Amino acid sequence: MFYHWFFQFQNASIDSIGFKADVILRCTLATLTAFLTTILVGAFVIKKLKKFHVAEDTSKTDSEELKRLHEGKKNTPTMGGIIIMIGIVGSTFLWCNLRNGYVLLSLFAILCFGIIGFFDDYIKLTQKHAAGLTWRTKLMSQFALSFVLALILYFCFGGIEGFTSLAIPFFTQLKVNLGPLYLVAITIFIAASSNAVNLTDGLDGLAIGCTIITATTLACVTYIVGHASVGAYCNTPLHILHIPECTELSIFCSALIGAGLGFLWYNCFPAQVFMGNTGSLSIGGVLGFIAAVSKQELLLLLIGSIFFIELFSVLIQFTYFKLSGGKRVFRCAPIHHHFQFMGWSETKITNRFFILAAVIAAFGFAGFTSG
């Protein structure tokens, strides 16, 4: 909104500010706006969630040990993803160029995945013995939406040379052209990203903290990918596919960072609110989409490492359980519960996962700029 207001003025004072061109300025404003909005809106929404008894039911699990460990979380308000969405969408409308197709598609992605998560949460809350949408319904919904996003990217932006290729971190000169298989790969990737964040959301502050780290790295990545001149400016040949107008997504990522920080204010241990699937599915979906737009799908596996470690731990546990006739690799999956069962405190697990997430994200970013 402010972007377009400034766009209408062409006087010298506005030109000297360089508002339109100064992406870093707008990233800063987007972060601050989303943070303050989330802090202010959060208190109001939490109050309303408590009033209408929109609370977590920790008894809906087959593990008696998990019920015991999470007994103190019972009746904590959930569906706090609404708070995050308000912060992101509000800040994006203020500081982003809403004529940018990537920004509009990111808003579409986060809202649609949020709707899937909302219905999942709503069923949990309104049906006493239900654990939300059936896993088939949830997966089909996620894959359908991911396929729609992949189709849009393929037919609307696939004309960009190299758009259907995969970039390999640390080997940036090497590109794997997927051709028509791009649709399948991106569909699976975005749906997997959505599920990965969803599975990570099991301890206070864990998912949103890792989101902040991942979004910060993606903000840098999208800024560089959108600037064809960055490599020349650094006097270094960065073999990175240039995606015109992708830089605007760095402002969207900044709004996600600010909203994440604001939500963490309420979600840190002991949590006053949980994001629920409303938040986790939407965040995971949009992170996967932004990585797909910037052609850094494989990089997301590094900068969002904790999310995918959680996802793979569940896949490993499930597969081994089926093949071995009931044996387990981990005491409980996702893997953060394994460490809980080992006796680690919740804050210890969360803080160590944050450290790992930050270190691996830095390592991944190095791989993005080298090769």
pLDDT of residue 176: 85
Low-confidence ranges of the chain (pLDDT < 50): 9-19, 231-235
CA nearest neighbour of 316 among 326, 301, 328, 302: 328
Q: How far apart are CA 364 and CA 371, in angstroms?
A: 12
Res 179: pLDDT: 85
Q: What is the pLDDT of residue 1?
A: 61
- Burial of 236 from C-beta contacts in 10 A (0-12 / 13-18 / 19+): exposed
Specify the pLDDT at position 85.
Answer: 98
114 Cβ neighbours under 8 A, 6+ residues apart: 81, 85, 278, 279, 281, 282
Summarize pLDDT for 286-330 with one digit per residue, the tens: 999 999 999 999 999 999 999 999 999 999 999 999 999 999 999
With tokens 């995918």, the residue in question is 308
Say what the pTM is: 0.93
| Residue 347, SS3 per DSSP | helix
CA dihedral 70, 73, 78, 83 (to 10 degrees): -110
Please give the pLDDT value at position 159. 74
